[in-house]
Structure formats: structure tokens, C-alpha cells
Amino acid sequence: MHPPEILVLTSMIQPAERAALDAIFTTHGPLGSAALDALLAARGDRILGIATSGRELLDSALLAKLPALRIVACFSAGIDRIDTAALAARGIALTNTSAVLAEEVADLAMALAVMARRRLVAADAHVRSGAWASGQGFAFGRSLQGARMGLLGFGHIGAAIARRAAAAGLALRYCTRTQRPGLDLPFHATPLALAQDSDILVVATTGGAANRNLVDEATLRALGPHGTLVNIARGEVVEEAALLAALADGGLGSAGLDVFLNEPKVDPRFAALPNVVLAPHIASATVETRSAMGAHVVQSLRAALLAA
């Protein structure tokens, strides 16, 4: 009996976990567009599973070429580039790694908040440049103690951030599409209302067209000249032009960003701003968590395609 065939659309799965996939399944990919088209024409009806990530497009046109598909295992929390409606219509299972990576992403969210408010990038430059040794003073940052943190989104990642923030002495509030029963935190129905009641706004919601510019100019400026934005979600969720303007003119105090609108081609104006911390979409990027994410993909495919 031949092993089940799967299509691997992502190169993000680490070598040990990719080797595990290769040992269990007949794997195809990642492939360029021409090679992928050729594979689907020849063997599309034999592909039972897909390993992908939040960066690859998996649309209805591609899914239509896979009539035997039973499961999509996503190596990320974000599934906004996957046509979930098409999967649901065909009864195809979808898994992601949101629970696996939540703690790691929450760590970076808190780090970005601390770095932005305490001006740690500028502080590092102050020391390296010799300015401290020459007697130049360094401007004070803003405290986290007692600050109000608004969480835009309260899934696995939002909940993990909330645990850390509460332990650090921040006062929490949140905004989701519907109020969470049993969650004893102040609730706001809109991002604007949340920002008006927050010193730090952490974007931890899903991306995609439905949430494009969810954090708009009014929401950014509601945080005010001492406020901080942290984005570990998706770049399109924040109105980037408005963010750049608010950071430049003082309408927003600071920001810590792990995601951008056109990443990896980040708008060069960010690099010139002293009040922003920039990271290259690394919230889940540790050896341990990326390994655990890959193991989750392997286990998801194994359970769906090799279960007795």
C-alpha cells in the first residue's frame, strides 16, 4: 500500500519535521507555479492533504484541482489566505497552530510594549554612539506600571498576552466582535472605543480583507501622544499611512511592530522614526516553537490520513 500523498506549499517547516513528513507520506513541493500546475494536472486527484502556512495563497481555484483533499494543516495561526468557505463547503478539515505558538507570540508582544514605551532602541543607540559616555542625557520613557492595555482580539494569543500583562501590573480591557461570556474585563464594542480607554493597544486579531484598516487614523490618534500601539497580528489590520503620520507628528507616542503592510518591503519612513521598534515578523520564530508548530502539522496530517 502506497503512503498517502500530500502537497507541501510552505518552506517554513523546519528540517526535522519536514523529514518526518517525508518519512510518513509521499510529499510534493514546495514547487514553482509551472511545476505545481503540472503536478496538479498529473496527480491532483491523489493529493489527500496539504501542509501550508499563513503566507501562501490557497484559493478556490487551487482547491478545485484537488478533488480528493481531506485536510489542510496550516503552519501558522493566520488562515486569512486560505479559502475557508470552500473548505467548509466540501467538509475538508482545517487545522492551525494558534494554540502552539500563543505563548511565544505573547512574549514578543510584551517585549515590544516594553521596548517601545521605555525607548530601548534609542537607549541602545545612545550607549553605542558614545553619547552616554560623553555626558549627554537620555529622555525618559513611559512606564508600564498601572497602564491600561487594550487587547484587540482575545483568542489564544490575546489570552496569553492578558496573563502576562496582568502579572506585570497592567489594567486590561478588550474588544472582540462579540463580548466573551465569563470574561471579567471591561469590554468595548469598537476599536476606537477601546483605544480611547487604553494607553497601550495590542493588535491580536485576525487579518484579511474583513479586518483591513480596522485600526484606522481615528483609533490611532485616540491613543494620544503618550500612547503605544503594538501589532503582532497582520500588517493590513492597521492603516499604515495613518500610523506613519501619527508617529511622525506626535499624535501617537510610540509603536512596536512585528508585521507590516507590504512586508518584507517595509516602508522606509519607519526606519527614520525614533519612536518605533521594528521586528521582521518573528513573533513565533524560536527554535522551540517553530519545531512544535511543525510537529503539530505532522500530527494533524497523520491523524487525518493514517487513523485506523
CA separation for the pair 17, 291 (Å, rounded): 7
Question: CA angle at residue 44 from 40 to 45, to 5 degrees?
Answer: 160
Residue 54 pLDDT: 87
**What CATH number did the domain enclosing 265 receive?**
3.40.50.720
Residue 203 pLDDT: 98
Query: Residue 75 CA to chain centroid, in angstroms?
Result: 12
Examine residue 283 and state whether it is found in any structural domain, yes or no.
no
By three-state DSSP, how is residue 93 classified? strand
Q: Looking at the structure, do residues 18 and 116 belong to the same domain, yes or no?
A: no
Q: Which amino acid, residue 127?
A: V
* Percent with pLDDT over 70 in the chain: 100
pLDDT-based confidence at residue 2 (cuts at 50, 70, 90):
confident
- pLDDT tens-digit series, residues 50-76: 999 988 999 999 999 999 999 999 999
* Domain of residue 238, residue span: 102-278
- What residues does 71 pair with on adjacent strands? 49, 93
- What residues does 26 pair with on adjacent strands? 5
Query: Which secondary-structure segment (H or E) carries 7?
Result: strand 5-8
What is the count of structural domains for the chain? Answer: 2
- pLDDT tens-digit series, residues 253-287: 999 999 999 999 999 999 999 999 999 999 999 99
**Structure letter (DSSP) for residue 286:** S
> Cβ distance 69 to 27 under 8 Å?
no
Q: Across residues 291-305, what is the average pLDDT?
A: 97
Q: Looking at the structure, do residues 151 and 27 belong to the same domain, yes or no?
A: no
pLDDT-based confidence at residue 308 (cuts at 50, 70, 90):
low
Q: Which residue has the cell 463580548?
A: 179
**Structure letter (DSSP) for residue 255:** E
- Does pLDDT of 19 surpass 60? yes
Residue 160 pLDDT: 98
- pLDDT tens-digit series, residues 138-166: 999 999 999 999 999 999 999 999 999 99
> Cβ distance 202 to 237 under 8 Å?
no
Catalytic residue ranges: 234, 263, 281
Q: Looking at the structure, do residues 299 and 184 belong to the same domain, yes or no?
A: no
Q: Looking at the structure, do residues 122 and 263 belong to the same domain, yes or no?
A: yes
Tell me, yes or no, if the pTM score tops 0.85.
yes
pLDDT-based confidence at residue 183 (cuts at 50, 70, 90):
very high
- Does pLDDT of 1 surpass 90? no
CA separation for the pair 19, 16 (Å, rounded): 5
Q: Looking at the structure, do residues 127 and 235 belong to the same domain, yes or no?
A: yes
